[in-house]
Structure 1
């Protein structure tokens, strides 16, 4: 966001009358010009300040998807669009602007959580959709702006339809996704500070402890869901939880590695495909997740 901007007026409609007054153009030219002017007026009428975005709004940015924005074009979600607001939250009130990096750090942490409330099954997201957010700038912070709007934005083509799937989930689907999302959140949110276990054994053990706890909760949730494949996944994850606990309690680096390898592969996304199919959820592993496990 930048400085607070007012809603755009409908002055574009006046272009229609001006074009109709021109007698030197042919009928087809006038018709095309009028249609173009109407489309332009329609777009202007849909303009909304980025300060008034609501969860569920589908929109097209004015210009590039990234960068400082004043207004966006709000469109019906059944029309092709570039983005949809899938979450929002307010930053803590403070006298001083925390800086671009400070704001982004909070948004990086909070937006995935807020987005999952709206679209819990990340596997079902359209290909190319990525999580972005509108945040306050130093200038807008001075006017009292503290809002962060989390959006899924199409990086290449367009989005079609609303991404709001939370309301349509069956209880067993919601239970599965809650546990699965919490598991992967525990894994990625507790990344150790160093790249190697040798340099940060304590950090890797702490991550293992967090993952083991999330797995225990996920396994417990799966216990209340019927299904052959769900039962098989529950057994797989129970075994994985045991390995994560061994890693968390490893006495040294060698002991950690012995437990970590089977622990990590035990929660690989492809382990859950059959259970997801049984539950009626998306079954295609997102490319970014598949790449991580393949690496």
Structure 2
């Protein structure tokens, strides 16, 4: 009669286990990911597991109940807590009947789901659920973040730059240093998301066209200031976001602005507004120059441009004549109107030029008459900025420019 081995985690000495002894289990499967993202092996690295481990047929562990896993996941996420509670109860019944594993997960899921049910009931009773959903949808649209900024607000970004992706900003007084100043809000087109480049191009066109509605006096905008904008992302677009936020920022990536750049009817007097509104008409016509830089490459296009500028000069002169300026500026404005009429005549001749040389001849005379430096005394009398921006002839006729700020009068 063989003497049984003493109790304890001992392995049989012979090459085969005694009759009735279950086969040795294989090493446990990996239990989860390591901090580095790779799976790690269980506590026993050898080919055999510890003695005393519960067995199932053929040396395999009993399967984990799927509903127990689902209950645990829903409990952790607090998502549909009532469903997680029900799944946990059903999982316990199945585990007991089928001999499956996962009792701990089912119980944990039930406990956390029960807490979720209580919290959900409190939120519904106090109105917190509605507040939570409103906050979630506003966050998805960008409200409460960089995209909720409004015209006239100044702000700082956490990174101190307007490049890249913005997740949040801090509004600050415009009187001190700041990273950006919002000057306009616009809406992108409807439809499917056209891509990052298309959205950026649309935002650029919109924002540049709105600059002079906020900073009417282009001469007062420093040369190191440029236009930036926040645009919807692909994800926020899918939730209905079409907000484009236009802003001023320093051309130096980490530079700042100091003081507000706002120059409109809220900060200017009636004479200043009348003068700048008339100047805007010419500036926008100058900005409509043909894409072809040289007249030789597109004479018809430049002739049409000259026609637009001639018409703008006539409109500008009429606006100035129609406003009664204070005596201190009235005389200077009257002299300016005469110059506008003379320049308009030269632009009209350029519009009828039969060749590039004739166009250039009238074009150069027209520009000389409305040279920005000739308007300094008028601006001084009106109390406006008197330092012309960097040289820019407004595009076309070999200038290579794109806007009319250098021609503003």
User: What TM-score do you get using the length of structure 2 for normalisation?
Assistant: 0.57
SS at 2:374 equivalent: helix
1:258-291 Cα offsets, whole Å, 9 max, x none, are 2111122333322221111111111111125489
Please provide the CA RMSD for this pair. Answer: 2.5
Report the counterpart of residue 262 of structure 1 in structure 2: 365
Match of residue 343, structure 2, among 240, 249, 256: 240
Q: Residues 75-114 of structure 1 correspond to what in structure 2 (within 5 A)?
A: 75-94=172-191, 96-114=192-210
Report the counterpart of residue 184 of structure 1 in structure 2: 283
Cα gap change, 1:101/1:187 in structure 2, threshold over 3 Å: closer, same or farther?
farther
SS at 2:258 equivalent: coil
Q: Residues 191-230 of structure 1 correspond to what in structure 2 (within 5 A)?
A: 191-223=289-321, 224-226=323-325, 227-230=330-333
Match of residue 270, structure 2, among 142, 160, 171: 171
Stretches of structure 1 lacking an aligned partner (at least 5 in a row):
8-46
Q: Rg: which structure is higher? A: 2
Taking the aligned partners of 1:48 and 1:266, their CA distance within structure 2 comes to 50
Cα gap change, 1:253/1:111 in structure 2, threshold over 3 Å: closer, same or farther?
same
Stretches of structure 2 lacking an aligned partner (at least 5 in a row):
1-136, 394-398
Shift of 1:99: 2.8
1:126–1:159 CA contact under 8 A, matched in 2:
no
Moved over 3 A (4+): 4-7, 288-294
User: What TM-score do you get using the length of structure 1 for normalisation?
Assistant: 0.77
Tell me whether 1:153 sits opposite 2:249 in the alignment.
yes
Match of residue 212, structure 2, among 97, 116, 127: 116
SS at 2:177 equivalent: coil
2:138–2:144 CA contact under 8 A, matched in 1:
no
Q: Which has the higher contact order (CA 8 A, sep 6+)?
A: 1
Cα gap change, 1:185/1:108 in structure 2, threshold over 3 Å: closer, same or farther?
farther
Shift of 1:80: 1.2
Taking the aligned partners of 2:349 and 2:198, their CA distance within structure 1 comes to 36
Taking the aligned partners of 2:235 and 2:139, their CA distance within structure 1 comes to 16
Report the counterpart of residue 42 of structure 2 in structure 1: none
Match of residue 74, structure 1, among 165, 168, 171: 171
